[in-house]
């Protein structure tokens, strides 16, 4: 018998002073049986950092043709393709051909080595931005994870405060290959 996804609910308030975006989002996340709490929380963080009324979670781990998050325009064209983790080079090249913008939030102890190994080959993807979430931050946000979460994310001058019921994690994501 196949394992089923675990459902998490999150009420997320975003105050992104840098982008002048303020919004509240009621989100439902299906955590795939092979997905860790850390990766799920990185998907939530990626949502908060790119919050938009048309941003939504893709099928991610269960469908290789969809990203972790994406934003489409009214015609269905992909405006923004967002991955978390350490995706394969081919996946990013394919995504950069399908979307106006591609963003990766790399996390984990091997993130810098992953980027060093593929950065040169991805130089032609002019619409790709790669950010590294500090390991201490990605490991800390796991303590915020609950089946029903009340979250706040404040972004000001590239500083990020990601808060749950009993913990606030302050971080700054680091540009590995950011494009304007």
- Domains: count for the chain: 1
pLDDT of 105 > 70? The answer is yes
CATH code of the domain covering residue 92: 3.10.640.10
pLDDT of 2 > 80? The answer is no
Q: For residue 51, tell me if it sits in a domain.
A: yes
Q: For residue 122, tell me if it sits in a domain.
A: yes
Question: Which residue matches tokens 């994310």?
Answer: 153
Q: For residue 164, tell me if it sits in a domain.
A: no
Stretch among 59-68, 98-107, 131-140 having the lowest mean pLDDT: 59-68
pLDDT at 62: 62
β-pairing, 6-16 vs 148-156, is parallel
Which residue range(s) make up the domain with 44? 20-26+37-141
Q: For residue 125, tell me if it sits in a domain.
A: yes
Q: For residue 84, tell me if it sits in a domain.
A: yes
Q: For residue 46, tell me if it sits in a domain.
A: yes
User: Percentage of residues in the chain with pLDDT exceeding 90?
Assistant: 86
| Three-state secondary structure string covering the chain | CCCCCEEEEEEEEEEECCCCEEEEEEEEEEECCCCCHHHHHHHHHHHHHCCCCCEEECCHHHCCCCCCEEEECCCCCEEEEEEECCCCHHHHHHHHHHEEEEEEEECCCCHHHHHHHHCHHHCCCCCEEEEECCHHHHHHHHHHCCCEEEEEEEEECCEEEEECCCCEEEECCEECCCCC
pLDDT at 61: 63
Stretch among 8-17, 84-93, 170-179 having the lowest mean pLDDT: 170-179
CA atoms of 32 and 91, how far apart (whole Å): 20
pLDDT of 3 > 60? The answer is yes
Q: For residue 172, tell me if it sits in a domain.
A: no
pLDDT of 67 > 90? The answer is yes
For range 154-163, the mean pLDDT:
96
Q: What's the token pair of residue 52?
A: 């938009």
For range 104-121, the mean pLDDT:
95
Q: Write the CA distances from 60 to 22, 56, 114, 119, 127, integer angstroms.
A: 26, 11, 20, 23, 20
pLDDT tens per residue, range 125-152: 999 999 999 999 999 999 999 999 999 9
Q: For residue 120, tell me if it sits in a domain.
A: yes
């Amino acid at each position: 018998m196949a394992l089923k996804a675990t459902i998490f609910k999150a009420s997320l308030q975003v105050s992104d002073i840098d982008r002048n975006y303020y919004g509240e989002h009621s989100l439902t996340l299906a955590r795939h049986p092979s997905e860790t709490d850390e990766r799920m929380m990185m998907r939530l963080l990626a949502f908060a950092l790119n919050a938009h009324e048309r941003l939504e979670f893709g099928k991610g781990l269960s469908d290789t043709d969809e990203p972790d998050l994406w934003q489409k325009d009214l015609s269905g064209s992909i405006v923004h393709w967002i991955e978390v983790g350490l995706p394969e080079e081919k996946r990013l090249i394919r995504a950069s051909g399908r979307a106006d913008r591609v963003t990766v939030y790399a996390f984990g102890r091997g993130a810098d080595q992953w980027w060093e190994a593929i950065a040169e080959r991805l130089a032609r993807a002019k619409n790709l931005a790669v950010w590294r979430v500090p390991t201490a931050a990605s490991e800390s946000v796991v303590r915020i994870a609950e089946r029903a979460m009340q979250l706040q994310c404040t972004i000001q001058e590239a500083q990020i405060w990601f808060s749950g019921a009993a913990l606030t994690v302050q971080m700054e994501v680091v540009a590995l290959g950011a494009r304007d």
